[in-house]
Structure 1
Amino acid sequence: MNTLIKDISSAERDWSAHISHNKLGIPVSAVYIMMQTQDVPISQAKKLVERKCLELEQQFLRLSWELLENSDPMIREEAARYISALQYLIAGELSWHVGSNRYRLDPSDPFYPKPEYKLSDFPQDTRGLANSVQAEWSGFESRSNSPDLPGTPVARSKSINGFRDGSRTNGFHEESTAYESNIWLEQSSELSEEIVLKPFEYISSQQSKKISTQAIQALDFWYNLPRRSLDIITSVINMLHSSSSILDDIEDSPSARQGNPSTHLVFGTPQAVNTANYLFVKCLQEVQRLPHSLSAIEIFTDEIANLQLGRGYNIHWTFRSASPSVRDYIRMIDGKTGSLFRLAARLMKAEATQNKDLNVDGLVTLMGRYFQIRDDHQSLSLTVQADTPSLDEGKYSLALIHSLNNSNPSDREQLESLLLLRSRQGKLFPEQKNLVMKILARTGSTGYTVKVMERLENEIEKRLESVEATIVGAERNWTMRAIMEYLRVGRSP
C-alpha cells in the first residue's frame, strides 16, 4: 500500500522527470505497468491502482481482525496497539504524499502529461523531445520579454553556460572557447590551504593550553632541543591533537566542545573530515623537516598507527555496545591517548642535544593513561550536575567497565539495557543518567576509579624520580610535577 500510494502521487512527476532527464523506457511504477498491461490513459491507470489500494486495505483489516481474534489474551492488547500503529503509518503516508510539494507538478510544466495520454503518447526519442521543448520554452521566454516584432530574428542576451547567445558561432564564441584557451597549457599555481585549514583555526581558537604542549616543555628540560626542532614537534603535536578532537566530535556526536559548537557543526562533516585528514599529511610534511628525518618518519608512522588502532577499538566497542575488559581498555588508551605523549617524547629524544640515551616512554605512557582516566572521570562526575554528553557518547569509561563487571545481575541487566537504549535513542534522558549514576554508586565504581588514579599518581612520581636519578647533577623537573599537580587538582569538579 505504501508503494502504490507513492506511485499514484508521483505519476505526473515521473512522466516529466523521465522525459526531461532523457531516460530510456518507461518509469518503474505501478501506474505505468497498469497503462502498459491494460492499455489505458494515465488518469484511468491511477484509478485502477487506487482500486488495488482499497482491496489491499480491506485485506489488511481482515487479517488484522483474524490475528487479534486468534492471539493469546496476554498479548492481544499489545498486538492491537501494534496494528493501530500500522494503520496510522498508512494514513500518515497517504497524507504526506498527497500534500507534499515533492510530488506536485505545475500543469504549466512543458512535460506535464494530459489525463488522456497513453503510453503511445510517451516519446520514444525522449532526448529529441526534451531538447525541442526546452528550446521552444526558452524561445517563448525570450520572445515574451522582447520588443521585437513577429518574424524578426530574436537576438537574445540571456547568458547560457557563460556565453551570450547572440555572439555564438556553432554554439561557442570563437575567441572565448574554453577548450582553445591557453589556460589548459599553462602551469597552474598550487592551491592555497587557507580554506582547508579554517576548521583547524576554529578548533584551535577554542582550545585552552594543551597538556601535550606543556609536556613537551617539561621534556625539553632534559633533552634541550634546538629551537627549530622544538617548534616543529610542538606544531605537529598540536595539529594531531586538533585533528583527533575534530574526529572525536564527529564520532561521538556532541553538540558542543567547551561551550562552542563542535567543528563539524560549523563547517559541516565532510569539510571537517577533510581537514582532519589533511592535518595528518601536513604533520608528516613537518616531520620531514626535522634534521633526523628518517628516524622521525619511522617514529611518526609507528605512533600514528597506534593512535588509529586505539581509536578503532574505541569506536568498535561504542558501536557494538560491547564492554571491553580492563586490560583491553588500558591497551586502547595506550594507543588513542598515549601515542601522542610517546610521539612527542620519541621525536624529542631523536633530536636531543643532551641525554640522548634517556628513555621516558614508560613515564609518558603512564601519564597518558592517567590523563584519559581522569578526563573520563571528570566528565562522568559532571553528568548529573550539568547534563554533560559523557554518557550520551556511548564510550566505555573505567567506571562503567568496573560497574558492569562487579554489579549484581539485576543492576548489570539495567546498565546494559540503558547503554543499548543510548545507541538507539542517540542520547540518554536525565532520568536514565541518574539511574546509571546510582548503579555506579552501588558498585563503588567511582571510588574504584579514584583509587586507580591515586595509584597511577604514585607510580608516575616514582618513575619521575627514577628518571631524575639517572641524570648526573640534574635538578628536579618542576614543570613535569606542575603538570601532574594541575591534573590532580582538576580530576574532581
Structure 2
Amino acid sequence: MTNLNEEVTKILGQYFEDINKEIMTTLSNIGPEDLREASIYLTKAGGKMIRPALTVLVSEAVGGTMSSSIKAAAAIELIHTFSLIHDDIMDKDEMRRGKPSVHKVWGEPVAILAGDTLFSKAYELVIKSKDKIESNNPEECLGRVNHTLSTLADACVKICEGQAQDMGFEGNFDVKEEEYMEMIFKKTGALIAAATEAGAIMSGADEETISAMHDYGKLVGLAFQIQDDYLDLVSDPDSIGKPVGSDITEGKMTIIVVNALANANEEDKKRLVEILKIGNESGNCGQEYVDEAMAIFDKYRSIQYAKNVALGNIDKAKKLLEILPDSEAKHKLSLVADFVLERQN
C-alpha cells in the first residue's frame, strides 16, 4: 500500500505545478485584495488535486495532450474548492485542510463571495480553453467547449442537490441504501465523473469513450466517499485529521449505518437509532456510545460490507478502462483507482 501511495502521489505531483499555475494566473487579477486572498486561500492549503489530475490523465489516455485539457482541469479544481468553502459555511466547520476555514478568517460574507468567484472563474477558464484545443476546425473546438461547459453545469447542479439531500438525511434514520448512494454520487461522485468526462471531451474522444470515462469517474467517486465512511471507523486520528468515529458522534448517516439499520434486529436497530439521535442533537455523543455503535456494526458486518461495495465499484471502474488503448496514462488511471480504495486519509 505504501508503494502505491508513493507512486500515485508522484503521478499527481507531475500535474500539480501546471494546474496550480493555471489557477494562480486566473485568480491573480481578482480585486479587492481580501476577496483575492480569500479565493486563493484554500488552493494553497495542500489539496491532492486528484480531480484535475484525472482530467489530464484521461485526456492523455484518449490521445490528447495536457495543453488541450489543462484549463478544464483547473476549472474542476476551482469548482471543488468553491463547494468546500460553501460546505464549511453551511456545516459551521472551522477547519479545512489543517487550516482555519475561509469563513473563519474573512467572515461569511467574503467567504460566500470567494466561493462565487471561484465558480465563475471556472467557467471563464473553460471558455478560454478553446484556443488551446489541437484542432483546425473552429466549430469542433467550440463544440468541445460547449459540451464541457454543459458537463460542468450539470455536475454543479448535482452537487447542490446532493448537499440538500445530505442535509435532509439529518435526523432521518429510514434512509435506504439507494437513496444514500444517489446522495453521495451527487455530492462527491458527480464532479469526479465530470472531471474524467471533460478530459475525454476536450481531447476529441468518441461518444462511447466519453460515456465510459464518465462512468469510470462516477464509480471512483462513489468508492471515494465510501472509503471516507470506512476510514472514519478504522483509521487512527492522525491519519484522518479527526477523532475516529466522528460520524457516529455527530449522528451522520453513512453506508455503514444504513446497512446496519437495514439488517439489525429490532433491539439493535432501536439502540443504534438512540445513539445516532444523541449525536445528532448534541454534536458529540461520547466514546462509550461510539464503542456501542461499533459493536453493532461488527455484529452485522456492516463495516466489511462498505469495504466490499467500494471494492466492487473500483473493479467496475477499472473494467471500463479496457475501452482505452494501452498507454502509460491508462496504467496511471488504474493506479489512481486502486489508490482511492487504499488511501488512509
Q: What's the TM-score, normalizing by structure 2?
A: 0.77
Aligned 1:294-443 pairs, distance under 5 A: 294-318=146-170, 320-353=171-204, 358-359=209-210, 360-382=213-235, 387-388=243-244, 389-443=246-300
Q: Does 1:192 align with 2:48?
A: no
Aligned 1:202-213 pairs, distance under 5 A: 202-213=41-52
Q: Is the 8 A contact 2:64 2:203 kept in 1?
A: yes
Q: Does 1:240 align with 2:91?
A: no
Larger Rg: 1
Tell me what 1:455 maps to: 312
- Sort the Cα spacing of 1:323 and 1:384 in 2 relative to 1 into closer, same or farther, 3 A: farther
Task: Tell me the distance in 1 between the aligned counterparts of 2:280 and 2:260.
Answer: 19
Q: Which has the higher contact order (CA 8 A, sep 6+)?
A: 2
- Sort the Cα spacing of 1:415 and 1:443 in 2 relative to 1 into closer, same or farther, 3 A: same
- Sort the Cα spacing of 1:475 and 1:254 in 2 relative to 1 into closer, same or farther, 3 A: closer
Partner amino acid for 1:326?
A: E
Aligned 1:2-81 pairs, distance under 5 A: none
Task: Tell me the distance in 2 between the aligned counterparts of 1:252 and 1:438.
Answer: 28
How far off is 1:237 after superposition?
0.9
Partner amino acid for 1:302?
A: D
Task: Tell me the distance in 2 between the aligned counterparts of 1:323 and 1:257.
Answer: 30
Task: Tell me the distance in 2 between the aligned counterparts of 1:438 and 1:425.
Answer: 21
Q: Pairwise CA RMSD of aligned residues?
A: 2.7
Partner amino acid for 1:408?
A: N
Partner amino acid for 2:179?
A: D
Q: Is the 8 A contact 1:288 1:296 kept in 2?
A: no
Task: Tell me the distance in 1 between the aligned counterparts of 2:63 and 2:305.
Answer: 39
- Sort the Cα spacing of 1:369 and 1:242 in 2 relative to 1 into closer, same or farther, 3 A: same
Q: Is the 8 A contact 1:321 1:419 kept in 2?
A: no
Q: Is the 8 A contact 2:103 2:111 kept in 1?
A: yes
1:445-469 deviation per Cα after TM superposition (whole angstroms, max 9, x unaligned): 111111112222322222222x23x
Residue aligned with 1:244, SS: helix
Structure 1 residue runs of 5 or longer lacking an equivalent are: 1-189
Residue aligned with 2:252, SS: coil
Partner amino acid for 1:303?
A: A
How far off is 1:221 after superposition?
2.1
Q: Does 1:487 align with 2:340?
A: yes
The more displaced of 203-212 and 407-416 is 203-212
- Sort the Cα spacing of 1:427 and 1:396 in 2 relative to 1 into closer, same or farther, 3 A: same
1:418-450 deviation per Cα after TM superposition (whole angstroms, max 9, x unaligned): 222222212222222222222212221111111
1:26-81 deviation per Cα after TM superposition (whole angstroms, max 9, x unaligned): xxxxxxxxxxxxxxxxxxxxxxxxxxxxxxxxxxxxxxxxxxxxxxxxxxxxxxxx
Q: Does 1:251 align with 2:107?
A: no
- Sort the Cα spacing of 1:457 and 1:203 in 2 relative to 1 into closer, same or farther, 3 A: same
Richer in helix (by share):
2
- Sort the Cα spacing of 1:256 and 1:474 in 2 relative to 1 into closer, same or farther, 3 A: closer
Task: Tell me the distance in 2 between the aligned counterparts of 1:438 and 1:221.
Answer: 47
Task: Tell me the distance in 1 between the aligned counterparts of 2:129 and 2:329.
Answer: 29
Aligned 1:165-176 pairs, distance under 5 A: none
Tell me what 2:62 maps to: 223
Q: Is the 8 A contact 1:252 1:394 kept in 2?
A: no
Aligned 1:96-175 pairs, distance under 5 A: none
Partner amino acid for 2:157?
A: A
How far off is 1:363 after superposition?
1.5
- Sort the Cα spacing of 1:274 and 1:393 in 2 relative to 1 into closer, same or farther, 3 A: farther
Task: Tell me the distance in 1 between the aligned counterparts of 2:305 and 2:39.
Answer: 37
Task: Tell me the distance in 2 between the aligned counterparts of 1:458 and 1:250.
Answer: 36
- Sort the Cα spacing of 1:231 and 1:191 in 2 relative to 1 into closer, same or farther, 3 A: closer
Task: Tell me the distance in 1 between the aligned counterparts of 2:69 and 2:329.
Answer: 21
Task: Tell me the distance in 2 between the aligned counterparts of 1:191 and 1:443.
Answer: 53
How far off is 1:289 after superposition?
2.3
Residue aligned with 1:195, SS: helix
Residue aligned with 2:72, SS: helix
- Sort the Cα spacing of 1:475 and 1:281 in 2 relative to 1 into closer, same or farther, 3 A: closer
The more displaced of 244-253 and 438-447 is 244-253
Q: Is the 8 A contact 2:62 2:200 kept in 1?
A: yes
Residue aligned with 2:175, SS: coil
Partner amino acid for 1:243?
A: F
Quote the sequence identity (%).
21
1:278-316 deviation per Cα after TM superposition (whole angstroms, max 9, x unaligned): 222222222332322333332222221122111111111
1:347-393 deviation per Cα after TM superposition (whole angstroms, max 9, x unaligned): 33332156575222221111111111112211232488962443345
Runs of 4+ in 1 over 4 A off after TM superposition: 224-228, 353-357, 383-386, 473-476
Q: Is the 8 A contact 1:337 1:369 kept in 2?
A: yes
- Sort the Cα spacing of 1:475 and 1:201 in 2 relative to 1 into closer, same or farther, 3 A: closer
